Amino acid sequence: RAKNAGRNTVRFYDPELHRAVEARFELESELRHALDQDAFSVHYQPQVDTSGAVIGAEILLRWKHASRGMISPAEFIPVAEQTGLIVPIGRKVLRAACEQLAAWKHQPAFRDLTLSVNVSARQFRHKYFVRDLAQTLEATGAPGHRLKLELTESMLLENVETVIAHIEELRSFGIEFSLDDFGTGYSSLAYLKRLPLAQLKIDQSFVRDVLDDPNDAAIAQMVVNLAHTLDLDVIAEGVENDQQRAFLFGLGCRHFQGYLYGHPDTLAELEALVLRQNDNGNPAAHP
């Protein structure tokens, strides 16, 4: 038997898998280190209405690695989720959002802006998530109704009751909810009806070829119609050119986000964009 086990061990040794496992452990320890060193920052990507005016921004996490430079959240968020590190990391992002909303409260040019924050399933289900966020709102003085949390359909795969309970509690602070990457997951329409959402977000994978691929156009139309039926706002992400914007507008979409309006960038860039817009025609800027 021992001989068998030994042979199995050898048979299952796969250098490629071994490297992947090592890389994952390395990433995990680097994430811990990054958390200690405050190596995370946030970028802001504008969200606009039909006139192109900025109505808010999505906060996107950035990790500046000492030797590898900027690492995409698509690479490290899954590891942060698996290890639970998403909880303290996500707490920092929410803190940053609340501090910014509180700072904008007294600045007329910015006080109507909303901030959308991505929240992972593991983070959202955490038993202290609601308590922590309530404390952060309180401590910062952030207006809860300017904060939007982006959830994903994967959150609905288990513990739907917990998710709904947390949404309800946070809504009492004015916080709104958006369903991100909508259509890429496994949403059941029955759950969707039960979730007290404010917004559906059309995933960029449908926006990319919306002009050429009739299936993508049909899905985008379905999301817009569904949103209207359920009385929800709808926003398209990944809008890169005006033809896409015009097409989505034709489908009934009124809010947009994507490189056409701005890449995720620093707070200073977002604020400068808003101020430039106010100078170009918003009379409120010239009382």
Nearer to ligand C2E, 17 or 246 (CB): 246
- Least separation, in Å, of the C-beta of 143 and ligand C2E? 20
- Least separation, in Å, of the C-beta of 184 and Mg ion? 7
Nearer to Mg ion, 130 or 236 (CB): 236
CB 36 within 8 A of CB 53: no
Give how many residues touch Mg ion by CB under 5 A: 6
Residue with tokens 């509690």: 169
Alpha-carbon distance of 176 to 150, in angstroms, equals: 9
Choosing among ligand C2E, Mg ion, none, which partner's interface includes residue 85 (Cβ < 5 to 8 Å by kind)? none
Among 31, 48, 57, 60, binds ligand C2E (CB under 6 A): 60
Residues whose CB is less than 8 angstroms from the CB of residue 232 and which lie 6 or more positions away in sequence, other chains included: 197, 198, 199, 200, 226
Binding mask 27-46 for ligand C2E (x = CB under 6 A): ------------------x-
Alpha-carbon distance of 58 to 45, in angstroms, equals: 5
- Least separation, in Å, of the C-beta of 76 and ligand C2E? 9
Radius of gyration of the chain from its Cα atoms, rounded to whole angstroms: 21
Write out the two tokens for 223.
């999301």
Contacts of Mg ion in 146-175 (CB under 5 A): 150
Binding mask 203-222 for Mg ion (x = CB under 5 A): x-------------------
Residue 90 in the binding site for ligand C2E (CB under 6 A): yes
Alpha-carbon distance of 274 to 271, in angstroms, equals: 5
Buried b (16+ CB within 10 A) or exposed e, 90-105: bbebbbbbbebbbebe
Contacts of Mg ion in 234-263 (CB under 5 A): 237
Using CB under 5 A, list all residues that contact Mg ion: 118, 150, 180-181, 203, 237
